[in-house]
C-alpha cells in the first residue's frame, strides 16, 4: 500500500501515520521529521531549511523533492509506505508522479481552523524520535518524557500561535488544492478529524478498508 496523508498542520496526520504504520507494517515517512532531524544535526540541507521551518513557511520544493527521492529508493520502502507531509504543493505532487510512484490511496484529515489553533498550543513532540503528543488529548505517560524512547518532549517553535495562523494560510493556498488533484484520480478519501484520537483512528481504518 502506497499511501499519502494530507491535512492541515495539527490535523493529526502524524498520529494517524503512526497507527497505520503499525497496522500495515509499512514505514511512515514524515518530511517534517526528516527536516527537523537535518536541522538538529546541522547538515547542509538542515542549515538551508531552518529559517523556513522555524517560521512555518514551506521549504522550497526542489529541496524537499530531492530528500524524498533519496528516501523512496531505500530498501524498506519496497512493500509500501505512508507519506506524511509530502506532497504539500501541486508541483511536489507532479514531481512524485514524474518519479513513477503509483499512489494507491490519499487520505485527507479534515479539521476546522479554529479547532486546530486551539490544539496546536498543547502539542508536544519528542525531540529525539519525533513521536507526537498533546498535553490534553494525547499525554505521554510521564509528563515531558517520550513514551517511545524516553527523551524529552518539547514544543516546536513553529507551534506558537502567530506562526500557526500563517501555516494555516499556507495550507489553504498551497496544500488544500491537492485534494482536487487527487480526487480527480478517484483516490481521495476524506476523514473528519474527531476530538478523541481513537475516534479519528476508527475512521481512518475504515477508510483504509474500502
CA 155 centroid distance within chain: 16
Other CB atoms within 10 Å distance of the CB of residue 131: 20
144 is a contact residue toward Zn ion (CB under 5 A): no
| Catalytic annotation present for 123 | yes
119 is a contact residue toward ligand ADP (CB under 6 A): no
53 is a contact residue toward ligand ADP (CB under 6 A): yes
Give CA–CA dist 58/172, Å, rounded. Answer: 13
User: Which of 2, 13, 124, 189 is an active site residue?
Assistant: 13
Which of the listed partners (Zn ion, ligand ADP, none) does 12 bind, with a CB threshold of 5 to 8 Å by partner kind? Answer: none
| Contact (Cβ atoms closer than 8 angstroms) between residue 187 and residue 97 | no
59 is a contact residue toward Zn ion (CB under 5 A): no
Give CA–CA dist 44/186, Å, rounded. Answer: 39
126 is a contact residue toward Zn ion (CB under 5 A): yes
12 is a contact residue toward ligand ADP (CB under 6 A): no
Give CA–CA dist 198/210, Å, rounded. Answer: 19
Residue 95 grid coordinates? 514531481
125 is a contact residue toward Zn ion (CB under 5 A): no
Which of the listed partners (Zn ion, ligand ADP, none) does 59 bind, with a CB threshold of 5 to 8 Å by partner kind? Answer: ligand ADP
Q: State the pairing for strand pair 105-110/132-134.
A: unpaired
Question: Residue with CB nearest ligand ADP?
Answer: 32
| Catalytic annotation present for 57 | no
Q: For ligand ADP, what does the binding mask look like between residues 161 and 180, x meaning CB under 6 A?
A: ------x-------------
Other CB atoms within 10 Å distance of the CB of residue 78: 9
- Residue from the set 64, 95, 111, 203 that interacts with ligand ADP by CB under 6 A: 64
Neighbouring C-alpha atoms within 13 Å toward the C-beta of 102? 3
40 is a contact residue toward Zn ion (CB under 5 A): no
DSSP one-letter code for 152: B
149 is a contact residue toward Zn ion (CB under 5 A): yes
Give the shortest CB-147-to-ligand ADP separation in angstroms. 19
The helix/strand/coil state of 78 is coil
For residues 45 and 86, which CB has a smaller minimum distance to ligand ADP in the complex? 86
The residues carrying an active-site annotation are: 13, 88, 123, 156, 167
Amino acid at each position: 500500500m502506497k499511501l499519502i496523508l494530507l491535512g492541515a498542520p495539527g490535523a493529526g496526520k502524524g498520529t494517524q501515520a503512526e497507527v497505520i504504520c503499525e497496522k500495515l507494517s509499512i514505514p511512515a515517512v514524515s518530511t517534517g521529521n526528516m527536516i527537523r532531524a537535518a536541522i538538529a544535526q546541522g547538515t547542509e540541507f538542515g542549515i538551508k531549511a531552518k529559517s523556513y521551518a522555524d517560521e512555518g513557511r514551506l521549504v522550497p520544493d526542489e529541496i524537499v523533492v530531492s530528500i524524498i527521492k533519496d528516501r523512496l529508493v531505500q530498501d524498506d520502502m519496497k512493500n509500501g509506505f505512508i507519506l506524511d507531509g509530502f506532497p504539500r504543493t501541486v508541483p511536489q505532487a507532479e514531481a512524485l508522479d514524474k518519479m513513477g510512484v503509483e499512489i494507491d490511496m490519499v487520505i485527507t484529515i479534515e479539521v476546522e481552523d479554529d479547532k486546530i489553533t486551539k490544539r496546536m498550543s498543547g502539542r508536544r513532540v519528542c525531540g529525539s524520535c519525533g513521536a507526537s503528543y498533546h498535553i490534553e488529548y494525547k499525554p505521554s505517560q510521564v509528563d515531558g518524557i517520550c513514551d517511545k524512547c524516553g527523551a524529552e518532549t518539547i514544543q516546536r517553535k513553529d507551534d506558537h500561535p502567530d506562526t500557526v495562523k500563517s501555516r494555516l494560510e499556507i495550507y489553504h493556498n498551497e496544500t488544500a488544492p491537492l485534494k482536487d488533484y487527487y480526487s480527480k484520480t478517484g483516490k481521495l478519501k476524506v476523514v473528519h478529524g474527531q476530538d478523541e484520537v481513537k475516534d479519528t483512528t476508527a475512521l481512518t481504518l475504515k477508510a483504509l478498508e474500502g
